[in-house]
Amino acid sequence: MKKVLSFDVDQTLNVAKTPIPDEIAELLTKCLDKFEVCPISGQKFDQFLIQIVNRLVEFGATKTQLTHLHLFVAQGTQYYRFNLAKNDWEQVYNYPLTDEQVAKITSAIKTAATELGYWEEDKLALGDEIIENRLSQVTFSALGQKAGTEAKYAWDPDCKKREKIVARCKELAPEFAYEIGGTTSINAVTPGMNKVFGMTHLLDELKVAKEDILYFGDMTQPGGNDYPVVEMGIDTITVRSHEDTAYALRGILGVLK
């Protein structure tokens, strides 16, 4: 019997960069009564609130239930949990990059994307940005965060563009690690600050063993940002959409009835 359900976010719980759909919100709310629920993603804390937390509250998640929701932000290099006494989310830890590291990563990614013809600043929405400093990681989003879902899905469906950018970044700034995630993103971190880091801290913070965890992700192939979880030996379900995840959760909850 698993104690923890852990999830990638984009393409696993939702359509990329959108709030989780009704069925996922309903299922996750039910899961909070039976499991510790741990989304882990390259996104910022604010996006976790918009895409997950607010939707669970809409579907009736209580404050007590929220204490069983653990937000592993920026691939788990930041961790937030709900403090019942303070009636608010609190940051448990954060491992930020230095300004110098952020600058070097930013330069490498922009140079690589520009050389390869994939720096498409003209397609950005007003106020959007291609490279975002997420404190403990730097994220490249080819079309920005605000681009439409169709455009994002169409930009690099086979990951070939991002594989080329990553290969060039490794030449320009080899001291950093680069992972492909979502639909148009590359996450850059210091080596080891990937989902292995996040999941290792999850084990420690929740006082559980690898065998207690079931992980859901869409990028479980080598080079994908979920692959480090597979390498850790954590039981993993590969999904291709939130519909796949919903199907699996219905089965899990059905068995527990």
Domain that holds residue 8: 4-94+193-256
Count: domains in the chain = 2
**Are 67 and 32 within 8 A, CB to CB?**
no
Per-residue pLDDT, 224: 86
Do 154 and 209 belong together in one domain? Answer: no
Cα separation of 234 and 156, whole Å? Answer: 28
Do residues 11 and 70 both lie within one domain?
Answer: yes
Average pLDDT along the chain, 257 residues, taken 10 residues at a time: 96 93 98 98 93 98 98 94 97 95 98 97 89 93 90 94 97 95 91 92 98 96 90 97 97 86
Q: Given the DSSP bridges, would you call strands 235-238 and 213-217 parallel, antiparallel or unpaired?
A: parallel
Which of 137, 169, 189 terminates a domain? The answer is 189
Please name the amino acid found at residue 132: E
What burial class does residue 67 get, using C-beta atoms within 10 Å of its C-beta: 0-12 exposed, 13-18 middle, 19+ buried?
A: middle
Q: Are residues 131 and 167 in the same domain?
A: yes
Instruction: Kindly state whether residues 218 and 165 are assigned to the same domain.
Output: no
CATH of the domain at 29: 3.40.50.1000
pLDDT at 42: 86
- CA–CA distance, 257 with 253 (Å, rounded to integer): 6
pLDDT score recorded for residue 169? 98
Same domain flag for 88 and 199: yes
